[in-house]
Amino acid sequence: MRILYSDFRKNLNDIIDQYADNGVFIIIDKTVHSLMAAELADKIASWRKCAVFPVEAVESSKSIDSAIKIWQWLEENGRANRKSLIINIGGGVVTDLGGFAASTFKRGCSFVNVPTTLLAMVDAAIGGKTGVNFCGLKNEIGTFADPYRVLINTDFLTTLPVADIYDGYAEMLKYGFISDKSLLDDTYCVDLQNINCCDIIRVIKEDIKIKQHLARVDRYDTNERRALNFGHTFAHALEAFCAAQKHPLTHGTAVAWGMVCELYLSVLQFGFPKDELSRLHYFVKDNYKHIPLSCSDFDKIYGFMTRDKKNISNVVNFTLLRDVGVFLCNQSASKTDIYEALEYVF
């Protein structure tokens, strides 16, 4: 899998031309389609050779029903064969769904990801996981399949709502914490109110390198790749708790607060530097939605943690840090420490 950062229009045009004889099928986020399809059709000469399938980018679109609709569309169009190409243009909903549909159609045909959200650029479009939700469970059905190419074009970020920018940014901070101090400092320096595509692309490239490396050394997520789960054990429990209270959180907000909680555990268990915990805590308080919790909520949050699918032998599983860049996967924490972390953070 190659990631292409420059000459977006030329690269997309060339890829479409290369596959045109066997059919090129574009699955695109409906919002991106309405914002940019005219411009893309205008500037990419080969665009008109493609069939286009717009998808509403909501979590409920990541379903087997949507995959079936895509498979039917590929069949009905008549031209899709095993050598056809599917191009997924959108955020993680589209890259997960489109990647899944492509990797299963005729036992797998090639696909290209064109991520249009910050989160998809640094995370969802990279690393080879595709999937749909099933029986109320996230990403329950899916495949490991690498895109043929990923085309990164930060121009897409200019229309992305600020809340979605902050969602992706939480994952960028995570890469800083699990890799090194200088990347973490560079990430804190990105001006989110006034995104400068040249500045952010440097950090995005570093983040992608980390994800590619972890996906290469531990494709099936049993060991080092679990570094990417840093912040996510608390995050998933907070997301589930807030959804049950009918005050849903965005994933990025949950990850931001989840990282603060897991840094607290890292301080307790491994002597992680307290000043880095404080820096993140202030940053998250200033920039992400506050979650109003009281001690009476902790049992429910803990209950959600005990059902996390990352747990091993019913023990709640965390990725913790000894220092910035020194991660320890498959760690546990006592119930007392988990409650103490919640009390400190909220």
Ligand X SMILES: NC(=O)c1ccc[n+]([C@@H]2O[C@H](COP(=O)([O-])OP(=O)(O)OC[C@H]3O[C@@H](n4cnc5c(N)ncnc54)[C@H](O)[C@@H]3O)[C@@H](O)[C@H]2O)c1
Indicate the residue whose CB is closest to ligand X. Answer: 92
* Residue 117 touching ligand X (CB under 6 A): yes
- Is 249 one of the binding residues for ligand X (CB under 6 A)? no
Phi, psi of 156 (to 5 degrees): -60, -25
Contacts of 342 (CB under 8 A, 6+ apart): 261, 293, 298, 301
To which residue do tokens 């990725």 refer?
A: 319
Task: State residue 326 phi and psi, 5-degree precision.
Answer: -115, 95
Residues 258-297 as x/- pattern, contact with ligand X by CB under 6 A:
----------------------------------------
**Residue 57 within binding range of ligand X, rule CB under 6 A:** yes
Alpha carbon distance 27, 199 (integer Å): 29
Beta bridge partners of 323: 326
Q: Taking CB under 6 A as the rule, does residue 207 contact ligand X?
A: no
**CB distance 80 to 72 below 8 Å:** no
24-29 and 85-90: which strand pairing? parallel
Choose the stretch contacting ligand X; rule: CB under 6 A; options: 28-36, 63-71, 101-109, 263-271: 28-36
Smallest distance from the beta carbon of 226 to ligand X, in angstroms? 13
Which residues have CB under 8 Å from 142's CB, separation 6+? 96, 100, 129, 130, 131, 132
Report, in angstroms and rounded to the nearest whole number, the Rg of the chain calculated over CA atoms: 20
Q: Which of 54, 105, 123, 284 lies at the binding interface for ligand X (CB under 6 A)?
A: 123
120: contact with ligand X by CB under 6 A = yes
List the one residue from 80, 160, 204, 301 that touches ligand X (CB under 6 A). Answer: 160
The span from the CA of 264 to the CA of 20, in Å, is 53
CB of 248 to ligand X, least distance (A): 13
Residue 32, judged by CB atoms within 10 A of its CB (0-12, 13-18, 19+), counts as: buried
Is residue 127 part of the contact set for ligand X (CB under 6 A)? yes
Asked if 239 interacts with ligand X (CB under 6 A), we say no
Q: Which two tokens stand for residue 146?
A: 């690498």
Q: Does 29 bind ligand X (CB under 6 A)?
A: yes
Q: Between 23 and 252, whose beta carbon lies closer to ligand X?
A: 252
Residue 32 as a binder of ligand X (CB under 6 A): the answer is yes
Helix (H) or strand (E) holding 344: helix 335-345
CB of 18 to ligand X, least distance (A): 25
For 92-114, letters b (16+ CB in 10 Å) and e give bbbbbbbbbbbbbbeeebbbbbb
Min CB(171)–ligand X separation in Å: 7
Q: For residue 66, state whether it binds ligand X (rule: CB under 6 A).
A: no
Pick one of 70, 146, 154, 167: the residue that binds ligand X (CB under 6 A).
167
Which of residues 11, 66, 113, 116 is near ligand X by CB under 6 A? Answer: 116
Question: Cβ of residue 142: shortest distance to ligand X, in angstroms?
Answer: 8
The minimum distance between CB 144 and ligand X, in angstroms, equals 10
Choosing from 54, 91, 98, 147, the residue that interacts with ligand X (CB under 6 A) is 91
Contact set with ligand X (CB under 6 A): 29, 31-32, 35, 57, 59, 62, 90-94, 96, 116-117, 119-120, 123-124, 127, 129, 138-139, 156, 159-160, 164, 167
